[in-house]
Amino acid sequence: MLSEIGIGLRRNLAMTISVVLVTFVSLTFVGAGALMQQQVSTMKGDWYDRVQVAIFLCTQDSLSASCSGAATDADKAAIEQALASPPLSQYVSEVEFETSDEAYAQFQEQDAELSASVTPDQLPESFRVGLEDPERFGVISESFQGSPGVEQVVDQREVLEPFFAVLNAATAGSLALAGVMLVAAVLLIGTTIRLAAFNRRRETGIMRLVGASSTFLQLPFLLEGVIAVCLGAGMAGAVLLLAVDRGVTGWLAEQVPAFDYITTTDVWATIPWLFVGGIVLASVASLVSLSRYLKV
Amino acid sequence: MIRFDDVTKTYDRTARPALDGVDLEVSRGEFVFLVGASGSGKSTFLRLVLKEEDATSGAVQVAGKDLRRLSSWKVPHLRRQIGVVFQDFRLLPGKTVFQNVAFALQVIGRSRGSIAAAVPEVLELVGLEGKGDRLPHELSGGEQQRVAIARAIVNSPAILLADEPTGNLDPTTSLGITRLLERINGRGTTVVMATHDDDIVDSMRKRVVELVDGHVVRDEHQGGYVTGAIPVVPAPEVSVDHRGAAAVDVPADGRPVAEQGGGAR
């Protein structure tokens, strides 16, 4: 008799561990997807808040067709005038002028070694134009591309687009993987509860006969599922914290310091949702399974 | 207390109904033997009373409630008014006698205090005083069945259903168990005992309802396992043509036995 209970318990333990592990992996992917999206929006917000379009002016060495030597003060005044008056002014939120010296200083900051091989006057002066709507880059580009004194109009978002594309693809990938794992988790929880109900059919049979309510009957099984999922969510949270702390804050932010990155604060904000999602998932899976295998 | 009106129960897989047009009424405080061969529908009858199954057609009323209209969340409340005992005792092997009985009260949310008061009392009633600390495997079959009975009645149910409670016991022990059920019946609990133990039925002279292939073929007060003076009317005729608890056996002198509650010997 005792060995029977022991066997049942061991089998159940293995099932519980597998539920924990599967939810751990699936919630890790869910969390990773959520954090990558947060990274994308952090970067977008950061970048869009700053400057979207750079109007690079001609330098004395410029070879572009629209350039005949360095841009003159009259060219600059014309550009500034155009940005400040209708119809363009409605698209523009702010305009900054960056001198060659400022550009050189920033270059030095980013890459001291490379900047040593250029002089400030080789770097173009530029208007940095912030847009009300970053998507309306085309208006500025068409207005100034080829204007006197303008060498090139660059949408600086393009620099980030490939990066966003990678992050978006990774998000989609991890969410797809998470979806598959979550389906596995739901099925596994259902099976586990079915097994547990079978193993305890003697007790539950008596409970039903003496009139235990369905809550009393089903709650223990429900709680088992929820506890297992919470363990999985906790492990997923720990892994995400570790990954962001070591991988992003501790490594990526040092290697590529130009951007803002998500921090463990963002992870802490994400973790409760992993728990909520996991608990909802486990409850639904449990109740569906219980309504089939543990009727009153 | 229990009332069946033209109740038919057909399980999905079988073509033949387990119960077929059964009319039966069990009054408050009655003691009824439900007899018949295996597969005659005794267990189905009990399962319908417990609403473990729903009747395919007809009305089942238990303790004043129409079970067709009883929503599933109220079923536990119905079952708290019904105690059940089985042939195989169904005790929890890891729990002591006391814990087994207390379990029935714990799972319906009784307080610890009322459990501590009720359990020793009921153990004394079934003749198990002082054995509360034993484990089921340390007890004899008769004692185990007494534990099961204690568990069934500890919540003072209005109805006690016993599904072949003596099926695993020797004749002497069986009689003891039946006497215990009679004593419980004497305290006001309606008892329905399904059995095919002819000695017990014969010795008790209680109301006997006989089922054959899902039909009630006999309903005698103070009956025996097989009917005494009265020949058993062929089953199909009786159950198809008649309705009502009384419409079964009529003794030689013509008085309807079941209604007058006597004389059928």
Least confident of A20-34, A257-271, B144-158: A257-271
Q: What is the pLDDT of residues A199-238, one digit of tens each?
A: 888 888 888 888 888 888 888 888 888 888 999 999 999 9
Higher pLDDT, B265 or A39: A39
Is B92–A203 a contact, with Cβ atoms under 8 angstroms apart? yes
Q: What is the pLDDT of residues A168-182, one digit of tens each?
A: 888 888 888 888 888
Q: Quick check: helix, strand or coil at residue B207?
A: strand
Which residues of chain B neighbour A211 with C-beta distances below 8 Å?
76-82, 108, 155
Q: What is the pLDDT of residues B13-61, one digit of tens each?
A: 767 889 999 999 999 999 999 999 888 999 999 999 999 989 999 999 9
Complex ipTM: 0.76
Q: Which residue of A has its CA nearest to B46?
A: A209
Mean pLDDT in residue range A112-121 = 71
pLDDT tops 70 at residue B159: yes
How far apart, in whole angstroms, are the C-alpha atoms of residue B64 and residue B165? 26
- Interface membership of B63 toward A (CB under 8 Å): no
How far apart, in whole angstroms, are the C-alpha atoms of residue B263 and residue B145? 33
Structural domains in chain A? 2-47+161-293 (no CATH), 52-155 (3.30.70.3040)
Q: Which of A1, A205, A210 sits opposite B104 (nearest CB)?
A: A210
In this structure, chain A runs to a length of: 296
Does a cis peptide bond (omega within 30 degrees of 0) precede residue A87? yes
pLDDT > 90 in chain B, percent: 65
- Give chain A's mean pLDDT: 80
Q: Which of A2, A203, A211 sits opposite B76 (nearest CB)?
A: A211
pLDDT tops 60 at residue A150: yes
Residue to test with chain A: of B107, B119, B122, B155, most A Cβ within 10 A: B107
Q: How far is B149 from chain A (nearest CA, A)?
A: 12
Which residues of chain B neighbour A210 with C-beta distances below 8 Å?
79-80, 83, 103-104, 107-108, 151-152, 155
DSSP class of B53? S
